[in-house]
Amino acid sequence: MFAGILTLRPWYCSLHPMEPCQRDQKRCAVDDRQYLLDSLTPAESWRIFRIMAEFVDAIDTLSRIGKAVTIFGSARVRPENPCYEQARRLADKLVQAGFSVITGGGPGIMEAANRGATEAGGTSVGMNIELPFEQKPNPYANLAINYHYFFIRKVMFVKSSVAYVVMPGGFGTLDELFEALTLIQTKRMKSFPVVLMGSDYWRGLISWLRRTLLKEGMICREDLGLVQIIDDPDEAVKHIQKFVIV
């Protein structure tokens, strides 16, 4: 049934006699699928087909990239910010160590990491999310995936990564960090390295976790060991290599 819906091209075109099909054939099926699922089938239950299609596309694409490290960080960081160059260097080092690099596909630190990976000749994945502001795809990802649903993108970050490096960022960066820590803590996923890059930026957060959450018994001491604060890109790569063999 699902396959049939995704291949109803003649039916779709017949519904639009004033709009002859002259589109790029490679995008045709995707465009038709989105129209069918979003416009012709307004019932909420039909949304599952768009969700399934987005999962299938992402899994098929990311299954071929090998072992990858995801680098998170703010979209608001400008190229003159030291964090930008640090992310670029980190991605370069990861590619040299045999890893692919994944980012959220946007500007700022994401752009820097994709740029570093591409310039090093590696696989540079940008998993962009459709947002009404701020997030636009950067030009440095040599493998780009666009997502409509946040939750699918988040699943694919976890599924496709062997480690996370979390650089300075805002709510989105913290969201990805704490989701990974929660999944590891609750053993819903296999533990992997989670690196916080930049001790000056993250020191206050770790202090709060220790002085408030740990003190109040909201987490245990072992949970604090799920993250490592590292300042040097070379040291971050070495830390990841202790747990991951490429």
Express each pLDDT in 54-100 by its tens digit.
Answer: 999 999 999 999 999 999 999 999 999 999 999 999 999 999 999 99
Check whether 12 has a pLDDT greater than 70.
no
Q: Which helix (H) or strand (E) holds 100?
A: strand 100-103
Tally the residues of the chain: 246
Which of 7-16, 17-26, 137-146, 150-159 is the least confident region?
Answer: 7-16
Residues 101-113 have a mean pLDDT of 97
Express each pLDDT in 195-245 by its tens digit.
Answer: 999 999 999 999 999 999 999 999 999 999 999 999 999 999 999 999 998
**What is the pLDDT at residue 245?**
87
Rounded Cα gap, residues 56 and 72, in angstroms: 24
**What is the pLDDT at residue 20?**
43
Structural fold of domain 66-243? Rossmann fold (3.40.50)
Check whether 22 has a pLDDT greater than 90.
no
Concatenating the DSSP letter of every residue in 130-187 gives --SSS----TT-SEEEEES-HHHHHHHHHHHEEEEEE-S--HHHHHHHHHHHHHHHTT
Task: Pick the closest to residue 66 from 110, 122, 121, 142 (CA basis).
Answer: 122
Q: Which helix (H) or strand (E) holds 97?
A: none
29 pLDDT tier (thresholds 50, 70, 90): low
Check whether 144 has a pLDDT greater than 80.
yes
**What is the pLDDT at residue 31?**
56
Q: How far is CA 226 from CA 2, 159, 194, 221, 230, in A?
A: 41, 18, 7, 10, 13
199 is written with which tokens? 């001790």
**What is the pLDDT at residue 7?**
40
Task: Pick the closest to residue 241 from 140, 99, 135 (CA basis).
Answer: 99
Which amino acid, one-letter code, is at 228? Q
Rounded Cα gap, residues 165 and 73, in angstroms: 9
Q: Which helix (H) or strand (E) holds 207?
A: helix 199-208
Mean pLDDT of the residues in the chain: 87
- Say what the pTM is: 0.81
Q: What is the 3-state composition of the chain as percent helix, strand, coil, each rounded to the nearest 5? A: 50, 15, 35
Q: How many CB atoms lie within 10 A of CB 152?
A: 21
Mention every residue, 6+ apart, whose C-beta is less than 8 A from residue 23: 31
Domain boundaries, the chain: 2-61, 66-243
Residue 231 is given by DSSP the state -
